[in-house]
Structures are given as structure tokens and as C-alpha cells.
Amino acid sequence: MTIDEVARRMGIEFQMDKRWKSLVAKQGHTVLIKPQTFMNASGDAVLAVSQFFKLDHQQMLVAFDDVDLALGTLRLRPSGSAGGHNGMRSIIARLGTDAFPRLKLGIANAEGRPAGHKLSGHVLGRFTDEERPALLEMIQRAADAIMQSLRSGLDAAMNVFNRSLPAS
């Protein structure tokens, strides 16, 4: 997904690092990780990597899907709750704070957030052929937002990407 595009643009590749149960790509002071744990345990990898590299929570940017945002919508935030996302709940619990930047990638379909038992099917399901163009556009914009955040900081990236609308 998005982090793969960022790594490609940076000219780096992911390698499995068993210490952190994650795919890791590093260039200079930038470390990209893709936890290979279950979603509910992704905080274990984030905590281990942040401790190893002595990262302040403000030096992180966690990208994740958000079923409360329309497909194609991006939202950069400096902090916030888990919002029902089990991966974010794990990260917040392991770090002991919700005060770290995040990039939310909207995945809700045209009907909005699925109710009850349909939610897991939607989150774990495949995108339709009709949704694919919006998904691909969002991935490109998310990679742009991450790169902008790396270059200019979170506030500058928020000013650009929180105002832009998804392609229709």
C-alpha cells in the first residue's frame, strides 16, 4: 500500500527484521516499518522500533485505514484516539500515549461505515473494480502526504492534504 510507494520513491527496499516482527526500510534518519504481527499486536513492533532508534513519539507518522472516512479521503492529525481501530488501539496502549502523528486513509464505501458484523468483512475485503481508481489515487496522495511531512513537517503537510478533496 502507501508505505511501499514511499519506499519506492526513496529508492529503498523493505527487509524482514525478526527482532521487530516487521518489514523495515531505512534511509538516513528515516525508518519505515510494516509490522507483520496481527493487527491487534502492531503496537509491539512500533514500540520496539521506536525504543531501538530512540524516537520521540512526535518523530513518528502512523498510516492506517479509517472506515469512518469516505474512500479517497486523507486526514493528517498530530494526535487522537484509536477511533475503534484495533491496530491504533494497540499502538496507543504500547506507547502509553495517543500523542503521535497519524495519517488516516478513508476506506468507507458509498453507504458509509458498515454496521456490526459487516464491518470486519468490509475492512478485510477487497475493493471493487469501481472503487479501484479512487483507491489508487488515494495511495498516491498518501505517499505525497508522507513525503511532504518528511520534507516540510506535519503542519505543512496538513495544510496541503487536509484541504484537498479526494478525486470523484
In a domain, 52, yes or no: yes
In a domain, 166, yes or no: no
Tell the burial category of 112 from Cβ atoms under 10 Å away from its Cβ (0-12, 13-18, 19+). Answer: exposed
Specify the pTM.
0.86
In a domain, 62, yes or no: yes
Name the residue range of residue 23's domain: 2-161
What percent of the chain is predicted at pLDDT more than 70?
A: 87
In a domain, 113, yes or no: yes
**How many domains would you assign to the chain?**
1
Nearest to 66 by CA among 163, 138, 148, 13: 138
Please check whether residue 46 is in contact with residue 60, taking contact to mean a CB–CB distance below 8 angstroms.
Answer: yes
Ranges of the chain with pLDDT below 70:
1-2, 111-125, 164-168
Per-residue pLDDT tens digits for 122-155: 555 677 899 889 989 999 999 999 999 999 999 9
Q: Supply the CATH number for residue 91's domain.
A: 3.40.50.1470
Cell readout for 21 is: 516482527
In a domain, 10, yes or no: yes
In a domain, 167, yes or no: no
In a domain, 119, yes or no: yes
In a domain, 68, yes or no: yes
